[in-house]
Structure 1
Amino acid sequence: MNIGFIGLGHLGTPIAENLLEHHTGMMVYNRTISKAKLLEEKGAVVCESVKQLASACDIIFTIVSNDDALKQITDWEDGIAANLKPGGIHISMSTVLPVTSNELFKLHQQYENHYIACPVSGRPDAARNKQLNFIVSGSNEIINTIKPLLTNAGAAAIWEFGAEPGASNVAKLCTNYLILGAIQSISEGINLARKSGIDEAAWMNMMTATLFNCGIYKSYGDIILKDTFHPVAFTLELGLKDATLINQQAETAGASMPLAALIKNEFEELLKGGFGDFDWSALALSVK
């Protein structure tokens, strides 16, 4: 079984490295070829095009920045769908709209291969520690086929959301919304504590030891307290992309999400201010 991997960003690279521990000879492609070359010494085979990789693979993982990037590598004559072997599987780990997954699922069907939406939840350090959560939907038979590969990729858990192709994308957008809501509330709470004259670090320590004793509040609380928005795990620019998708899906579903709209506006202002290459936790700067 030949495996391919497309998309070697902050998160894609450690996931690809995890797979290479089990699948030496895995084919890789990245638009910036130099990033792919770094995996060559770990046993990867670097491809010069999406077509070259797709035509040689039975299963392809992709993790790219947005819906347009996913469509560009999938839906054209030299793309994944047209060149993946019949019966092959395209596992998309990107955070995209469910309608995008529904469209690409139908496209793959035309070429007698398979598309599985499998967005991943976790930062690069979680990938390196093999503590990722994979959120998957689609054919139960195909999901069972890829589960061992998801474990190899660094899964701590695999969460299934039924047969609808885009269902897992809805779950991922809801997940990212809760993370953004946590960053917003942590930022405001720390700012209020600081401006009111109490020790904000002591207050945050109390919170993360009691009511909010969980990874999100501990990790982002520490980042926000220290203003350590570099190194970047997920850029503020990509945070705006996710906030935009959340608002688009809310409009499609007829769901009221006033906080999501506020957060999107704050991201837009920070991007105008030149913070696009900061970590998305720099959303905290909007309350200062």
Structure 2
Amino acid sequence: MSVDRTQGSCVTIRTLPPLSSLSRCVYSSSDDATFGSPTRMGKGLTCVCFKSRGTYERICINLTPLQEERLRRLKHRMKVNFDASRVEHQEGLKALWSATYPGQELHGLVSDQWKEMGWQGKDPSTDFRGAGFISLENSLFFAKTFSTSFQCLLKKQGGKRAAWEYPFAVAGVNITFMIMQMLDLDATKPRTFVRTVFLQMLSENEWAFDLLYCVAFVVMDKQWLEKNATYMQFNDVLKSTRAQLEKELLMDDVLRIEDMPSYTLLF
């Protein structure tokens, strides 16, 4: 591994370490925390500067073919609108119902039963406009992977609850949309350090986005309880949830979603 050092500039690692580690270099600055813009350091190598507490940190990542393919698939998932006429989307809704209410018969894809889950009306397909089909996939992943935590949130079993609670299913769609905005994955070049860190996590686990969704949901509910919030404060809780996620993703020892402190809330 060779290193270039120039006066007043970052150190650039020419040969990157394994994907499980992050290459950083630091030089002094007197400014407060801000996000810098990415710079290109040769073909396939993207560097993003992050300024915090008087220092700049630059993380350099080289997108591997595996990483590029996983990012491509994730971005494709994010672009798929929910279409109630598509059989696979209908089957997705049925699978979500079965995972949420095992053994309880669903009387139709348009039914008042869906209100029990926290959809705004009897046709859940109308609530997917903001985030698309991936928000259904996220909910289904949560229900199957962390069923106990999922059921606890669905039934509002934890803590002292407000009289006017957030609707569970619609909250999930909003969480998906919030994560999409936070990661800014549709940008042609990374514009934030959080996005760059997530790309490394995606190379470790193809389901990093879905795992992050699960963490975000339990963080949101925890903050909801701590703030003793009501429905009208949901957007404020969502903002504080995003801030908490960003804080944890930027921790030095967080290299996977599973390393995030709030990941333990799922168990």
TM-score (norm 1): 0.22
- Which structure's residues are more often helix, by fraction? 1
**Higher relative contact order (Cα pairs below 8 Å, separated by 6+ residues):** 2
TM-score (norm 2): 0.23
